[in-house]
Amino acid sequence: MPQLNGQTALVTGGSRGIGAAIARRLAADGAAVAITYTQAEQQAQEVVRDIEAAGGRGLAIRADNRAPAAIEAAVSATAEAFGSISILVNNAGIFDARPITELTLADFDRTVDINVRAVFAFTRAALAHMPDGGRIITIGSNLAQRVPWPGLSLYSLSKAALIGFTKGLARDLGPRAISVSIVHPGSTATDMNPDSGELADLQRSTMAIPRYNDPAEVASLVAWLAGPEGRGVTGAEFTIDAGTNA
């Protein structure tokens, strides 16, 4: 029997890249999966079609991560469709890599709104529908732990904030046996950061094993944390970056 049979999951930013891989993997493991997207409706519907073609249940919901009402509506739609939210994967995020002298307060607000505030808002809203023993898994970045190049201060700030949130939340939710973890991917082959791109060799030069992650590898780690073998893990960080931060 699939390890997530009877479970329900909400994956934010699940229309492409790592988020889409996570959604497909959780569905393959038996969970009913809702994903949110902002603009990539066609890709989001493709993910749902893949899930349904394999015999699963999927749902795509448009949600602006800067709009609290949209976040609340996405959570409510998921709970209404599936009855509960036993797994929340906070994956949606943006990457703005520029020196601080080129960044404005509006840039700061946009990054923090999407990468931090929305994580707080989705988590707070989902908890109203999450049974005891649920899972909250946030996608951080290895750049929260080590910054090898200039131009990453704002992005690294936003992802580092999620580490503290994860550890504090683990303490808050321990009495309900809800485990809370953060996964830090390194360079991962997606359309936003292809392993054949102009900066790919520079990124590989920092790795102990010079190869990009496949999104499915990150999804496998998330699936383990969401499954029965991950129930004793909370307040923890997991880095999957081919040894970049070693």
Active site residues: 155
Residue 216 is given by DSSP the state: H
Among residues 24, 116, 36, 20, the alpha carbon closest in space to that of 73 is found at 36
Please name which of 98, 75, 103 lies closest in space to residue 87, comparing C-alpha atoms: 75
Amino acid at 158: S
Q: Longest Cα pair distance anywhere in the chain, in angstroms?
A: 54
CA angle 11-23-39, nearest 5°? 60
| C-alpha dist (Å) from residue 203 to 24, 60, 96, 98, 223 | 27, 33, 17, 17, 26
Tokens coding 244:
């970049």
Half-sphere exposure of residue 2: CA atoms within 13 angstroms, side-chain side: 18
Q: Give whole-number Cα distances, 228 to 132, 135, 148, 162, 169, in Å.
A: 14, 10, 36, 24, 20
Distance CA 154, CA 164 (A): 16
DSSP designation for 87: E
Task: State how far Cα 231 lies from the chain centre.
Answer: 18
